[in-house]
Amino acid sequence: MPMSHQEALQVLAAHRGNHIVITTMTSVGLWPSLSDTPLDFAYFPSTMGGAPSLGLGLALAQPERGVIVVNGDGCMLMNLGSLATIAAHPANLYLLIIDNGLYEVTGGQPTAGAECVDFTGLASAAGIERVYVFDDLAAWKAGAGEALTGPGPVVAVLRVEGRLGQKTPRPPRPMAEQLNRLGHALEVSV
């Protein structure tokens, strides 16, 4: 039985260390109850799929810090090409793909290729060597420490239960405030 999205994020919160965490879509609404630091960034633009590229840029600019991107399966489908870019520019990027087979925040429609798209196979084919699949909470608890440490890039698929009837989440802070907090935490001007 897959874990809940909340359970998956609770394990992440316990293992995130000092990494920057970028959340997207449903995770934007869930993450603030688990973590609210300047290193948390709720990426909720009008486009889907851009968070892995944003995370890669931050990971390249902050190699000692590391960046965790919590991306939905629908978002990942919107930018599969980012896997090749991530492989071509190795950095300490840990891409978590929350796979529930649904476009949850737009009404629960099944994603294209739900239950048959192999994100770890695609990541491996793009050249990413460290790939993981966690089908349940026990496996994620046991493997999160390994998946979120060491050299990146890493792609980890977390299979979670879909939840229908979700409202579009709101970022916990305006984008400008988040950028300012993150910039101060990283000691860079934004």
List of residues 6+ apart from 180 with CB closer than 8 A: 190
- Choice between 89 and 171, residue whose per-residue pLDDT is larger: 89
**Which of 77, 66, 81, 86 has its CA nearest to residue 20?**
66
β-strand partners of 41: 22
Q: How far apart are CA 32 and CA 42, in angstroms?
A: 9
DSSP class of 113:
T
pLDDT, residue 109, reads 67
CA distance 94 to 69: 6
**For residue 67, what pLDDT is reported?**
97
Residue ranges of alpha helices (H) inside 89-187 are 119-126, 137-147, 175-186
pTM summary value: 0.88
Q: What is the average pLDDT value for the chain, to the nearest integer?
A: 87
Asked if residue 19 lies in contact with residue 68, where contact means CB atoms within 8 angstroms, the answer is yes
Residue 106 identity? T
Tell me the pLDDT tens digit for each residue of 44-76. Answer: 665 678 899 999 999 999 999 999 999 988 888
Average pLDDT over residues 165-171: 62
Query: Largest alpha-carbon pair distance within the chain?
Result: 45
User: In the chain, which ranges are continuous DSSP H helix?
Assistant: 5-15, 26-30, 51-61, 73-78, 81-88, 119-126, 137-147, 175-186
pLDDT at 97 over 70: yes
Domains by residue range for the chain, with CATH = 5-186 (3.40.50.970)
Taking the chain, what is the end-to-end CA distance rounded to the nearest angstrom?
43
Instruction: Classify the C-alpha dihedral 64-86-154-102 as positive or negative.
Output: positive
> Given a cut of 80, is residue 140 above it in pLDDT?
yes
